[in-house]
Structure 1
Amino acid sequence: MNATDGTVSQTIDKLIDVEQARFAETHPRSAKAWARGRKHFLYGGPSHWMRRWAGGFPIYVEEARGCHARDIDGNDYVDFCLGDTGGMCGHAPEAITRAATRQLQRGTTHMMPTQDSLWVGEELARRFGLPYWTLTTSATDANRGAIRIARMITGRDKVLVFSGCYHGGVDEAHVELRNGRMQMRNMIHPNGVDHERVSKVVEFNDVDALEEALAAEDVACVLMEPLMTNFGMIPVAEGFHDAVREATRRTGTVLIIDETHTLSCGPGGYTRLYGLEPDIFVAGKAIAGGIPAGIFGVSEKTAGRLWKEVPHVNPRQRQSAHFGIGGTLAGNALTVATMRAVMEEILTPENYAKMIGRADRLAKAARLVISHHALAWHVTQIGARVEIMFSPRPPLNGAEVIATRRGDLETLLHAFYMNEGILVTPFHTMFLMCPATEDADVDKHRAVFERFAETVIEAGVN
């Protein structure tokens, strides 16, 4: 940096003020809509996440197609956020629209299966390599169901997660390490949960810490992403997955792999691409094209252990064995129809090749900008997903993210990008490609990123 930390922070704040003023000037209708929404929504919008955009208030969307969105003020954007993965298939793809319309005309939910479900079950098994599946309404619900199964078959309570993780609304995962001690992350309220009893947390890529945490054999499951994507992307160290699998098997611990984000790696996710062997596999968001859905699949061995605890119901007996998993709308006909369309027509090997190729292009261009300006920033790519982080090298774990993260510079980038017609994930600087993303969309990002770099360099805050 070219000035003291305090001066740099003040300069960034002034730059954010400039961008937010520019945003307010070009988004008057969204500003009015936000003021109206705050009168009746608890946090201003239908979901509290919607307030998190860096302009000072959120964009109100009029229409979105492919990888482009238009707001109610008439501003157009290249969308690399894609609903924070929920829109990975692109906005309003024809195959999903067609499947959803057809099913809406036949009934949305029946609490009974359709013939589409037969295809979906077979394809999930073929694609991800686990034989038995259950559908939920979100990845959060899928994770909760997976944890419940792990506890049922192990007789243990604790869930081990990695510091900096995010697995939706799973209470056990709302913890992180600070100064070596477990605490709540992101100012989350403990919600009456005794985390000392039900949670353990260690740093990602730390085999020794994992071994120590599992040694007591009181952990029901390890819940993890193949590499961390929600705290800034944290690549996995060589050999770490092998160590996790060996340690969990040796200690009788269920291994749950959550691929809600890393589904961007390919048709079978990171798990199939790299030959991982989870006991339970979880995904959500994009799997039904943005219609709320989650899935979890279990291995043959895990299914056998579960069936000993909860056998198939005798049809002559009262049907009441839901065992705390799912919900009335889980596996509804509309979701199943769109899930089939996604796997049959959109998240295909051909489309993944295009998406990953565009991610390669974006990552290489961003690295050239960083190199040209000699910036202490880096780019991480995994499949169709890219992240720019304002530190010189990829972090090894959550502690390194905490130590190096420059949240105010991220806020500045988000506000600057929106003013230049680009949307990225608002919680950090992550880019996702969809099948409709074109070279021109990626090239626009290069030009905007170049202007952003020049802006911060000129201000002396790089």
Structure 2
Amino acid sequence: MAVVDRDHLAKLRKIEDERFLLLHPKSGEFFAKARQSMPAGVPMSWMSKWPGAYPVFVEEAKGSSFIDVDGNTYVDFCLGDTGSMTGHSPDAIATAIREQVGRGMSTMLPSKDASAVSEELAKRFSLPFWQFTVSATDANRHAIRYARLITGKAKVIVIDRCYHGSVDESFATLDSKGKTVAREGNIGAPVDLDVTTRVVAFNNLPAMKKALTNNDVAAILMEPAMTNVGIVLPKDNYLAGVEKLAKEFGALLIIDETHTISVGPGGMTAQLSLSPDFLTIGKAIGGGFPTGAFGMTSSVADSIKKLVDLEVIDTGGIGGTLAANVLSLAAMKATLTKVLTKENFDQMIKLGNRWADGVEKVINKYELPWTVNRLGARAEYMFSEKAPIDGREAADAGDFELEQYIHLRMLNEGFLITPFHNMALISPDTTYEDVDSHTVMFEQMCGDLIGK
């Protein structure tokens, strides 16, 4: 297997750092000004993670590409890390938002689109009742609190190295002794994580059963496939086993489809005929517009109705008051009925496989010890010879120094991939040319990495 020489990598990185400065002088000017009013010159702290002397400032985004303030055009395989998997500003969604703005944005009353969106989500995910939030994070918080209300239990099980937005209970991991502890980077945790949370490894049913045996678990919160630490796919019958254990021990199962919607219109829940108690999803169903939703079974909805008093229903400690505003519902309706359709998913998945095939062919050509994982319209290469089976293996496969070089090199060549790992997502507007040009550039980059 080929080995990346670190001294050689450092030289390549220096070249790309210098190219970045030449290609992005206006972004540098915007960054200098931004530092006067924003910490690190960015509106969200994680944006400091982009490689290069400063982030690229975007001028315009449309379809599968965007243009920066220096006039450089990029093929966007990041797509807001799923938020814009529809492509940027699809005409159908932009038109729906534009028309709704002229008719009102927030009224504190339901619109007719609320029923249309709920019915469409119910059809896709086979959960009959839906509520709306401002994000997937908020949807997960809702579901957790309702699970505690219904079960009378306190603990939440999450998967090691999971990601569910900024949900406090999910920022946990396992230490070397298997104890639940705060994950690195966890800021200002309100309590020690083992007070609220138990962590188990993905694809490990015995560990899941052990975590449930105290009968104090209100909910299991998990993605059907891990995505944020890298794509980790479930073993055969693993998810069915989790469902069975949840029922056996009286815990409610929350499936987070925020990223795994990439496999098709009904996500992995429809693909694998899963039966969660709750399902959460984020802004992909609004074309990138800030929104989220959670669905629930009839029995869950009935339990909530019995346990929540109407007199104090507005003070329950969950929810954004105007989350279900008419503007977000208009965006969701247009997204679900006109953009994230089966026909578009079929094409997106086809191109996702083409992207993965191209990357895999290059990896094999240069005998790199990397592997490629696929998740519908999403694919990723990881720095390990075998596909990881849990979050720890995926995290251990990371190589921050190498990732930073790859991301910067691709950025300088006009390609954006997800900043946290080497993942690409395909939109309905992504073309064969977009995919094939990436393969050509990826081959050039890998050849440079190993000196061929």
What CA RMSD, in Å, does the superposition of the two structures yield over aligned residues? 1.5
1:450 equivalent to 2:438? Answer no
Residue number among 243, 251, 257 corresponding to 1:253 in the alignment: 251
1:281 equivalent to 2:275? Answer no
Could you list the per-position Cα deviations for residues 424-450 of structure 1 after superposition, in whole angstroms to 9, with x for gaps in the alignment? 000101100010001000001101110
CA distance in 1, matches of 2:10, 2:223: 34
Q: Which runs of 5+ in 1 are unaligned?
A: none
Output aligned runs, 1:127-166, within 5 Å.
127-166=124-163
1:430 equivalent to 2:427? Answer no
1:25 equivalent to 2:18? Answer no
**CA offset at residue 190 of structure 1?**
4.3
For 2:264, the equivalent position in structure 1 comes to 266
Letter in structure 2 aligned against 1:388: Y
> So what's the TM-score if we normalise by structure 1?
0.95
Could you list the per-position Cα deviations for residues 76-117 of structure 1 after superposition, in whole angstroms to 9, with x for gaps in the alignment? 100000011111010111001100001000011111111111
**CA offset at residue 365 of structure 1?**
1.0
**CA offset at residue 319 of structure 1?**
6.6
1:226–1:270 contact (8 Å) kept in structure 2: yes
CA distance in 2, matches of 1:63, 1:431: 20
Q: Which runs of 5+ in 2 are unaligned?
A: none
Output aligned runs, 1:57-136, within 5 Å.
57-136=54-133
2:2–2:369 contact (8 Å) kept in structure 1: no
CA distance in 1, matches of 2:328, 2:117: 11
CA distance in 2, matches of 1:342, 1:2: 44
CA distance in 1, matches of 2:337, 2:74: 28
1:396 equivalent to 2:389? Answer yes
Letter in structure 2 aligned against 1:157: A
For 2:237, the equivalent position in structure 1 comes to 239
**CA offset at residue 322 of structure 1?**
4.2
CA distance in 1, matches of 2:71, 2:43: 22
1:171–1:193 contact (8 Å) kept in structure 2: no
For 1:352, the equivalent position in structure 2 comes to 345
CA distance in 2, matches of 1:27, 1:265: 35
What SS is found at the alignment partner of 1:295?
strand
For 2:195, the equivalent position in structure 1 comes to 197
**CA offset at residue 157 of structure 1?**
1.1
Letter in structure 2 aligned against 1:200: R
CA distance in 2, matches of 1:295, 1:117: 11
**CA offset at residue 419 of structure 1?**
0.7
Identity of aligned residues (%): 44
Letter in structure 2 aligned against 1:352: F
1:177–1:399 contact (8 Å) kept in structure 2: no
CA distance in 2, matches of 1:399, 1:276: 25
For 1:331, the equivalent position in structure 2 comes to 324
Output aligned runs, 1:403-422, within 5 Å.
403-422=396-415
What SS is found at the alignment partner of 2:43?
coil
**CA offset at residue 407 of structure 1?**
1.6
Letter in structure 1 aligned against 2:334: A
What SS is found at the alignment partner of 2:18?
helix
**CA offset at residue 186 of structure 1?**
3.2
> So what's the TM-score if we normalise by structure 2?
0.97
CA distance in 2, matches of 1:238, 1:319: 45
Could you list the per-position Cα deviations for residues 281-340 of structure 1 after superposition, in whole angstroms to 9, with x for gaps in the alignment? 0000211011100100001121122122115x3xxxx57544222112210110000100
CA distance in 1, matches of 2:125, 2:150: 23
